[in-house]
Structure 1
Amino acid sequence: PGNKSMIRQMLMDMMTDYMFGTGLDEVVKGQAKHNKTYVYNFNYYSWNDYQPPWRGIAHGQELQYMFGFPYINQTYKDLFGVYPRQQYDYQDRNMSEYMISMWTNFTASGNPTPKTFDPVLHFKNVTWLQYNNFNHSYLEIGNTSRNLINYRQNHYGFWRKYFPQLYNRPNFIKNTGSSSTDDQQKNYQIATYSLVGLSVLLSVIVLSLCIAVYRRRPKDY
């Protein structure tokens, strides 16, 4: 209980599973039943990253490498006004080339690591295996990329199966306060009527002032 770093990490993992992982895992499993599917876990951390290491890899942090941000030079910055949040070194550029190559190959052929390319030179001697619903294989992309299986399946199962059962129990504490739909609708109606009444009152005041000014204007006779 006194290990605050561990508690912080577990809280971040829990929120990541709840907000992103569980839903994405459900979509991937459905997609794999009908089409070729490739899943990855981005685990590369740059030494030049602007975020502290304890935050880990943030959601969407791989996009800068997919779109070639490490190759943006000063000329490109001055021409297009694009300024990345951090500096990049040769390792970041290698990671960017690595990801761009795989995504381009997948778009062109449906295979991110085809045999027509040198796997050592282009793909760090790793062949990205297709995802399946038996062992849930995926590619971990990092300083050392590798194929792994069953990424956080127990944690996703908690949110997908156990938590709904727990929530539907009769003695489960649910939020029945002012956040319910009926209360929100009542609050919205009260706010609407109040604004309408205030608008009418202001209109009457403005009209009265206009009449008073009109009557006090100097007459020309």
Structure 2
Amino acid sequence: MCIDANLVEASFAVDVFKGIPFADVPGTWEKPKPHPGWSGILKATKYRDRCLQVNLLQTKTRGSEDCLYLNVFVPQGRKLATHLPVMVYLFGGAFMLGASNDAAILGDSLYDGKEMADRGGVIVVSVNYRVGTLGFLSFGDARLPGNYGLWDQHAAIAWVRRNIEAFGGHPDNITLFGQSAGAASVNFQMLSPYNKGLFRRAISQCGVALSPWALQTNPMSLTRKIARRVGCLRSDEDEMLTCLKYETRSAHLRKIDVLLILGKGVVMDLMEHAPVVDGDFIPDEPSRLFHHAAHFDFMAGVNSMDGHMFAGVDVPSINKRNGNTTVEDVRGLLAGLTKEKGSAAVASAYQAYSSHWGSFPEQDVVKKTVADIETDFLFLVPTQIALQLHANHSSGARTFSYLFNMKTRIPGFPRWVEAEHAEDLQYLFGKPYSTPLVYFPRHRELSQYMIAYWTNFAKTGDPSKGDSKVPVPWPSFTTQHRPYLAINHQISKSSVSYNLRSDLVSYWTQTYSSLPSNKREEEEGN
């Protein structure tokens, strides 16, 4: 069983191996199984299908159940690569969508690893995993434990650990990195006891296991909702499971996975597919598992406007030139995000976010506050908590924090919008180099900086140290000192600051957390 380098795509000084199976075709709601292998030479020249899922508009399905494949990008110099650091990428997509070769940019996948491999001197691996109902449906017990997508990721990581040396990689120097749901997945892989010894470092970009959208807390509720949609709701749960398996095999996945986009609530309420605490792969609440991550070097951060995309759905007026965003809009958003707490939470949070407004705030100030609220709640605060937990439990491993705040390139947004969710990826994967006509020199500078910091971290555990030159040293985050690097095209000594949005991190972690829940408030009122 082998893969011939002559049968792979050669570009730059990079060999590209596409569509290598790391597991067999998975059974419905079963853990991945070892691949039986192949005879002869595998032609690794084409990306394979994504895992079966709905499309972005949720009008039809695409992909296949035969989807557990990965792609390898190997930089080659004048001599054959050996003992190179390895970076394994996990894609995002709300645990509902996505693929290892997703979102083509002028012919190339957004996650094409050639530029990063070539410029950073690392092997890049991108992997598929199951998403949506097939990846994360759960009963919350052993009959349907869930987390199948996480098991797929684990199988891919284990495959890389076993086989990457044959590609010139160092099996003891593997770094996981991912964005959004992929970033949360990276964090879950760190926290799972099953990954001990399989990788060395981790990077979470715009998401952690503590993010409110990253964990199902009542999986049976979602399962019953899905069963009702496809006519499988039964009082006997075993019969319901049998029916769901039949419906899935009968290509009714579209009916199962279409979100209730006309339902009430905030966007976060619609992101229901996610991992669960199964007592196995995730043995406990994520915040209580950071002792498992003590030996991994960890780098994590967010984009300065990560929540803007979601805020624009929840409060559409923020993106309308003549739209008026009112106090009631802000309070309504806070009510949707804090509904697990009592009514006091809305007033408390509103005070925390409006204290700088003054008597007659400008509309841009109010609108930006709406985006900041969702950024903090969904991304920034959970990431800061995760960084602190990692630093608290570290046994010699290092911790690094960043804020990506490059001005958005998306046309039509208000002037106050900085880095939108996922805008970091184009720079990390070198798009300003591979498609230079749609970028400016400042974008290539930023791309160079990001590739250097990320690949240095993969090589040494310190983004400032390695083969690639960086503009300024990036100090580590500790239990007592909390520096972060502001990442844009003008990185200088002043880009290092401390205590990122600490007043609002303190609000959510202390003041808000101490407020009574709705349940307690109702009990006291009876």
Listed as ranges, the matches of 1:34-49 within 5 Å are: 34=394, 35-45=397-407, 48-49=409-410
Provide the C-alpha distance between the structure 1 equivalents of 2:382 and 2:400, rounded to a whole number of angstroms: 16
Conserved? CA contact 1:113–1:128, under 8 Å: yes
Contact 2:483/2:498 (8 A) holds in 1: yes
Q: Cα gap change, 1:6/1:93 in structure 2, threshold over 3 Å: closer, same or farther?
A: same
Matching residue of 1:128: 474
**Structure 1 residues 5, 73: CA separation in 2 closer, same or farther (over 3 Å shift)?**
closer
Q: Which residue of 1 aligns with 2:100?
A: none
2:411 is matched with: 50
Partner of 2:364: 5
Structure 2 gap segments, 5+ residues each: 1-359
> Residue 49 of structure 1: CA displacement?
4.2
Range with bigger deviation, 23-32 or 49-58:
49-58
Corresponding position of 2:453: 102
Deviation of 1:170 after TM superposition, in Å, equals 8.7
Determine which structure has the larger helix proportion and give its number: 1
> In the alignment, which of 424, 441, 457 is matched to residue 90 of structure 1?
441
Amino acid at match of 1:128: W
Summarize deviations over 1:189-209 as a string: whole Å, max 9, x none. xxxxxxxxxxxxxxxxxxxxx
Q: Distance in 2 between the 1:2 and 1:155 partners?
A: 20
Alignment of 1:24-43 (within 5 A): 24-33=383-392, 34=394, 35-43=397-405
Distance 1:51 1:134 in 2: 42
Which aligned segments of 4 or more residues in structure 1 are displaced greater than 4 angstroms? 169-173
The reply to whether residue 62 of structure 1 matches residue 409 of structure 2 is no
Shift of 1:54: 2.5
Q: Which has the higher contact order (CA 8 A, sep 6+)?
A: 1
Q: TM-score, normalised by structure 1?
A: 0.63
| 1:168 Cα deviation from its structure 2 partner | 3.6
Match of 1:149 in 2: 498
Q: Is the 8 A contact 2:406 2:489 kept in 1?
A: yes
User: Which of 512, 519, 525 is residue 163 of structure 1 equivalent to?
Assistant: 512
Query: Would you tell me which structure has more strand in proportion to its own residues?
Result: 2
SS of corresponding position for 2:388: helix
Structure with greater Cα Rg = 1
Amino acid at match of 1:65: Y
Structure 1 residues 38 and 62: alpha-carbon distance in aligned structure 2, compared to 1, 3 A threshold? same
Identify if the C-alpha distance between structure 1 residues 167 and 92 changes in structure 2 by more than 3 Å, giving closer, same or farther. Answer: same
RMSD: 2.7
Whole-Å separation in 1 of the counterparts to 2:432 and 2:371 = 27
Alignment partner of 1:112: what SS? coil
Secondary structure of 1:155's aligned partner: helix
The answer as to whether partners of 1:166 and 1:172 remain within 8 angstroms in 2 is no
CA contact (8 A) 2:443 2:489 kept: no
1:129 Cα deviation from its structure 2 partner: 0.6
User: Contact 1:28–1:37 at 8 Å: present in 2 too?
Assistant: yes
Aligned residue type for 1:73: T
Aligned residue identity for 1:165? S
- Aligned-pair CA distance for 1:164: 2.7
Partner of 1:16: 375
| Cα deviations by residue, 1:53-94 (Å, 9 ceiling, x for unpaired) | 3322112221111111111238xxxxxxxxxxx921111111
